[in-house]
């Protein structure tokens, strides 16, 4: 078993990512790569990056703030550090992390 990030469901916001903050081993981090994801399957309609989307159920729903989600962003897991505790799966507010065999 190991946790995987489903990029299309992930808003990829470094400042909001609850899984990144919750991982006790510091195994989760944020990166940006050249390939944008332009159609994420997430629900946010308030962020300026809403076309790419954010799956986090944060408090920015009034549309006045930018959570920092980027189409170039990715949340990644360092499997050398991960102990497969499952906390990130529970904490991910976009249901973007799944345990797979
Ligand atoms: S969807 Fe999950 S993994 Fe993606 S930024 Fe939000 S909390 Fe982090
Ligand atoms: S399963 Fe646990 S150790 Fe691994 S990335 Fe998630 S929170 Fe971190």
Q: Could you list the pLDDT tens digit for every one of the 101 residues in the chain? A: 999 999 888 878 888 788 999 999 999 999 999 988 776 665 555 444 444 345 555 554 444 455 666 778 899 999 999 999 999 999 887 788 999 99
Nearest alpha carbon to residue 95 among 59, 69, 60, 57: 57
Res 90: pLDDT: 92
Res 88: pLDDT: 96
Report all structural domains of the chain as residue ranges with CATH numbers, in order of start.
1-101 (3.30.70.20)
Res 68: pLDDT: 63
**Size of the chain in residues:** 101
1 alpha carbon to ligand 1 midpoint, in Å?
Answer: 19
Res 47: pLDDT: 46
- Cβ–ligand 1 distance for 67 under 6 Å, the answer no
* Residues whose beta carbon lies within 6 Å of some atom of ligand 2: 3, 23, 25, 27-28, 77, 82-88
The pTM (predicted TM-score) of the whole model is 0.82
80 alpha carbon to ligand 2 midpoint, in Å?
Answer: 11
Collapsing DSSP to helix, strand or coil, 28 comes out as strand
């Amino acid at each position: 078993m190991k946790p995987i990030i489903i990029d299309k469901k992930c808003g990829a916001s470094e400042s909001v990512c609850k899984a990144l903050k919750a991982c006790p081993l510091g195994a989760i981090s944020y990166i940006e790569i050249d390939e944008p994801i332009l159609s994420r399957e997430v629900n946010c309609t308030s962020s300026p990056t809403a076309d790419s989307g954010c799956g986090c159920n944060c408090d920015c729903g009034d549309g006045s703030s930018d959570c920092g989600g980027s189409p170039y962003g990715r949340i990644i897991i360092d499997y050398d550090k991960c102990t497969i505790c499952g906390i990130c799966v529970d904490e991910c507010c976009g249901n973007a992390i799944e345990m797979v065999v």
